[in-house]
Chains A and B, each alone.
Chain A
């Protein structure tokens, strides 16, 4: 997959995207103002966050939440909202705190 094409001379004609699956290469993480912080000690791995995440940014390993893909997470907070109130394993933190 072609990433970071620099010169205008190298762009595909007409802005065509000439291969499928390129949304992976388009990093949307920097749109985020709130960052989800996942606490694996509190998490009961019900996977509600994984089901509801509109950006497929909840990364699983062996059926358990492993991490959050911050290159694609836009910080919508749906995961934190869907996490059961008794669990609250995902906290939304101001992105500015990490800068």
Chain B
């Protein structure tokens, strides 16, 4: 296996990955601090190093729309954005996911306005967390590069078929130069393979309709299938992470545990702060405090059971959120991790049912049945699914 040790910023590393992936179409609009990804990639296009059709658009909404069109047509398609640019894509993010298009995005985390700010927080990515995109966070340039290569395989996995965003932290990773290992073009291309679209719209022998209307009769069922695809992404992420490890040396999973086994206190975070946190852990251990760290790599699908299991024996846990949910139950990572850990530690049984999507009616009898079955399960000492669906046709 050919590895080359080079100095790259996060943006350069992502541009390098996109060059090696050699997508059929890239549609993008510049925005700080992600601009460089496309600026560098555009030179690769101009120099004839890739076969990509690069579509410069007039806005991020248009960039995502063009990307969706290209992917529907049957092209492997990528884009890059940040902050307000991602926010301008929100409408189309949901459409890419609902249409089950394995689009790939390089996302550089940056705070949202107002006030205007170009530096890092995770508020932009968190705004799209329920849009149906797989979300992978990177600690450094190496992970940004590795994650983007794996993203192709995860998104296009036949059990998944979902769009995916790989994020770095604005300036902290995007503009900081680090030593990273770059793999050979041939090995990367072998690893990602050829894109075989499920039903390309340009296949005139099999005409299809894309984006048709879906009322109370089927909308909930389509959303249920979307949720299943996101759930299936968990296995695909592990499978691709293992294969990546056997080919390139570094295996990837849902999280990285650092000095966690005997930890009396552990910090949990996303992205580049894990690097800072590891130094803090080392310093604390020198001071006699058994500190540890859990870096969450995958935020969507949220690996709830796995994270809860890994932190089961840690008595003190501190979750660091680089985005504010504004008078919610803490930041999003805290809220979701707490929910994941609650089940084993709570005196109450709190269950959740997703209902009524797309206007699906909820009936008095259904609520009675649900609550009475919860009560009788408790009385009979039986378990009841904690999270599930109400009113979807199974």
What's the Cα separation between A14 and B132 when bound, in Å? 12
Say yes or no: is B233 at the interface (Cβ < 8 Å to chain A): no
Q: Which residues of B contact A19 (CB under 8 A)?
A: 207
Q: Which residues of A contact B224 (CB under 8 A)?
A: 8
From A15, A18, A20, contact of B214 by CB (8 A): A15
Number of B residues, CB within 8 Å of A = 25
What's the Cα separation between A16 and B209 when bound, in Å? 6
A10 nearest CB across to chain B (Å): 9
Q: Which residues of A contact B221 (CB under 8 A)?
A: 5, 7-8, 11
Also in contact, A8 and B208, with CB within 8 A (given A13-B198, A14-B98, A14-B161): no
What's the Cα separation between A13 and B228 when bound, in Å? 11
A29 nearest CB across to chain B (Å): 15
Q: Which residues of A contact B379 (CB under 8 A)?
A: none
* B207: nearest chain-A partner, CB-CB: A20
What's the Cα separation between A18 and B212 when bound, in Å? 11
Number of A residues, CB within 8 Å of B = 15
Q: Check A14–B394 contact: CB distance below 8 A.
A: no
From B98, B208, B393, contact of A17 by CB (8 A): B208
Say yes or no: is A67 at the interface (Cβ < 8 Å to chain B): no
A52 nearest CB across to chain B (Å): 24
From A6, A14, A17, contact of B101 by CB (8 A): A14
Also in contact, A8 and B99, with CB within 8 A (given A13-B198, A15-B212, A18-B199): no
Q: Which residues of B contact A5 (CB under 8 A)?
A: 218, 221
From A11, A14, A17, contact of B99 by CB (8 A): A14
Also in contact, A9 and B209, with CB within 8 A (given A16-B199, A18-B199): no
Q: Check B98–A15 contact: CB distance below 8 A.
A: yes
Q: Which residues of B contact A15 (CB under 8 A)?
A: 98-99, 210-212, 214, 218, 222
CB-defined A-B contacts under 8 Å, sample of 26: A5-B218, A7-B221, A7-B393, A7-B394, A8-B392, A8-B394, A11-B222, A11-B225, A13-B161, A13-B199, A14-B161, A15-B98, A15-B99, A15-B211, A15-B212, A15-B214, A15-B218, A16-B99, A16-B199, A16-B208, A16-B209, A16-B210, A17-B208, A19-B207, A20-B207, A22-B209
